[in-house]
Amino acid sequence: GAVVSQHPSRVICKSGTSVKIECRSLDFQATTMFWYRQFPKQSLMLMATSNEGSKATYEQGVEKDKFLINHASLTLSTLTVTSAHPEDSSFYICSARGQGTDTQYFGPGTRLTVL
Amino acid sequence: GQNIDQPTEMTATEGAIVQINCTYQTSGFNGLFWYQQHAGEAPTFLSYNVLDGLEEKGRFSSFLSRSKGYSYLLLKELQMKDSASYLCAVSGNSGYSTLTFGKGTMLLVSP
């Protein structure tokens, strides 16, 4: 149980374009989903917390107009990187948490490369 | 604020036992997680400690002392596939508690 999928696994895009990443909880209802970013040899940095049906809560320093998060259902959250730039190239990882639990289960991650 | 410290790197031999320490100073505390992360992959859940003491799960055990702000992950009978980064993460005590991650300990298991 507690499987989280993420799509796509890799994406390469041109500077200035937008990229959408999907995160799905496959076998449980995720009341809360989290989006992280991880640069090489660094730890996971939380970008935002997303609760189903409400606006995401962004961490300090994360531009909410650049990183659009939608959590339309209990099994799906999306992260859209708008007007991507090379410095946005990173490993983006989502996690999902069910109601009444503290444990987050992670998706396999999306490697974004912006040329 | 949140501050989580763990060693950057450790090396060990196949079949041995290794202990990875984690100390934390956080403004809130619900529990402490250990995750394993192989290079280029997402973290996988290993353990969750809320109360003081040792939790054993197969070859992996995790210990917590809330009063000391200290945890360790114990790996027994090391295998080559255990070579990975081990992340210590603390859960805060807000309603939608988030995880704060340490920088991870890169464990290299050699033959």
Report d(CA A104, CA B79) in Å as an integer.
26
- In this complex, is the C-beta atom of A103 within 8 Å of any C-beta atom belonging to chain B? yes
What's B48's DSSP letter?
E
Residue B84, pLDDT score: 96
**Residue B3: C-alpha distances to residues A28, B31, B51, B73 (Å):** 32, 14, 20, 18
Q: Are A90 and A37 in contact (CB under 8 A)?
A: yes
Tell me: pLDDT of B103 over 70.
Answer: yes
What's A104's DSSP letter?
-
Residue B93, pLDDT score: 61
Q: Which residue in B50, B94, B96 has the most chain A C-beta atoms within 10 A of its own C-beta, making it the best mutation to test that interface?
A: B96
Across the range B85-99, mean pLDDT stands at: 80
Residue A95, pLDDT score: 94
Tokens 């353990």 — which residue?
B47
From the CA of A32, how many Å to the nearest CA of chain B? Answer: 8
Q: Give bridge partners of residue B91 from the DSSP assignment.
A: B31, B99
**Whole-number average pLDDT of chain B:** 92
The pLDDT-based confidence of A72 (bands split at 50, 70, 90) is: confident
Residue B29, pLDDT score: 87
Residue A92, pLDDT score: 96
Residue of B30, B41, B103 lying closest to A43 (CB–CB): B103
Report d(CA A107, CA B3) in Å as an integer.
25
Q: Are strands A10-13 and A110-114 parallel, antiparallel or unpaired?
A: parallel
Q: Which of residues 33-92 of A touch B (CB under 8 A)?
A: 34, 42-44, 46, 49, 51, 57, 91
The pLDDT-based confidence of B94 (bands split at 50, 70, 90) is: low
Phi-psi region of A53 (alpha: psi -120 to 50; beta: other; left: phi over 0): left
Higher pLDDT, A16 or B93: A16
Q: What is the share, in percent, of chain A residues with pLDDT greater than 90? A: 70
Across the range B9-21, mean pLDDT stands at: 97
Tell me: pLDDT of A86 over 70.
Answer: yes
**Who contacts A19 (Cβ-Cβ below 8 Å, separation ≥6)?**
A11, A13, A80, A81, A84, A112
CB atoms B97 and A102 under 8 Å:
yes
Tell me: pLDDT of A1 over 70.
Answer: no
Residue of A32, A102, A105 lying closest to B91 (CB–CB): A102
Tell me: pLDDT of B1 over 80.
Answer: no
Q: Which of A42-56, A89-103, B87-101 has the lowest average pLDDT?
A: B87-101
Residue B39, pLDDT score: 86
Tell me: pLDDT of B95 over 70.
Answer: no
Residue A55, pLDDT score: 86
Per the structure block, which two tokens stand in for B25? 């100073």
Across the range B10-27, mean pLDDT stands at: 95
**Whole-number average pLDDT of chain A:** 92
Across the range A43-71, mean pLDDT stands at: 90
pLDDT digits (tens, 9 = 90+) for A2-48: 889 999 999 999 999 999 999 999 988 888 999 999 988 788 899 99
